[in-house]
Amino acid sequence: MTKTDDCVCSIIDIAPTISELIDVPLPGADGVVIPEMIDCLQRCDRLILIIVDSLGYLTYQRLGSAMPHVSGNGTVIRCRAVADHTTPAIASILTGCSPETHCILTDDDVCTSPIKSILERVEECGRRSAVVIANGGAKAMRTKIKLVAGGGDDSDIIAYDAVIAKHSVDLLRHEPALTVIHLRAIDRYAHEGRSFDELMYAAERIDGHIKEICSHIGRGTGVIICGDHPIHGAYAWKGRDVALIAL
Ligand SMILES: [Zn+2]
């Protein structure tokens, strides 16, 4: 694993970086291209973006040993969060805009927002994009793009993430230029005040899903993993930044 400890980028820079890598225009973004990510992924003509909910930068430092596939193959960059909650944070990741610009706080706001995400921009270019997220977000995104799957019942978050991973593998058969996947077990366990060992277990399961997803892609597909916001709860290793990882 290589890493850059200097905080040089923000999560609003992720979409502009994807735009550059897969050659899809993203006008109006607040963020800028991240050169380190371009260096890592410039060979790729397709991308998978895996949003690991609550994967803060310091959280990843603590849980990374439970994620051997990611930590053994990835380059991690420290990345500034722009929101404390999932919906506005993911909106910033996918639009390249700050919350003040996109004003998306709820799933309903996704439907009414005039700001287009990188997923919609991909379809405007005549290519396919796909998203696998929670049911509320999936319902909203079905108004925007064609390849959408929801995670279903999330009462057992470990089983829920496994369903998300399965749907992701199914949608990858359509060979999307961009696939966005949202995995939630670490975040849910943090909200529930679970033990460190249980957080490690959630991270281990997520690493397994990422490894499985990676086994279904070719060399021309790059993988970007990012947190959406720092972990919730009173953890000493909470911090203000998230992990951004190129595989
Ligand atoms: Zn979140």
Is it the case that residue 13 has pLDDT exceeding 80?
Answer: yes
Number of folded domains that form the chain: 1
Q: How far is the CA of 242 from the centre of ligand 1 (A)?
A: 11
For residue 44, give the 3-state DSSP assignment.
Answer: coil
Containing domain of residue 22, as a range?
2-246
Average pLDDT in the chain: 93
pLDDT for residue 5 = 55
Residues recorded for the chain: 247
**Amino acid making up residue 49:** L
Run of H or E including 88: helix 86-95
Please say whether the beta carbons of 119 and 141 come within 8 A.
yes
In angstroms, what is the span from residue 53 Cα to ligand 1's centroid?
A: 4
> Residue by residue, what is the 3-state secondary structure of 56-84?
EHHHHHHHHHHCHHHHHHCEEEEEECCCC
**Is the model's pTM score more than 0.85?**
yes
Radius of gyration of the chain (CA): 16
Domain harbouring 153, CATH code: 3.40.720.10
Tell me the pLDDT tens digit for each residue of 61-75: 999 999 999 999 999
Q: How far apart are CA 23 and CA 116, in angstroms?
A: 16
Confidence class for position 233, pLDDT limits 50, 70, 90: confident
Confidence of residue 1 (pLDDT cuts 50, 70, 90): very low
Question: What is d(CA 59, CA 2) in angstroms, rounded to the nearest whole number?
Answer: 17
d(CA 127, CA 148): 15
Residue 82 Cα to ligand 1 midpoint, Å, equals: 12
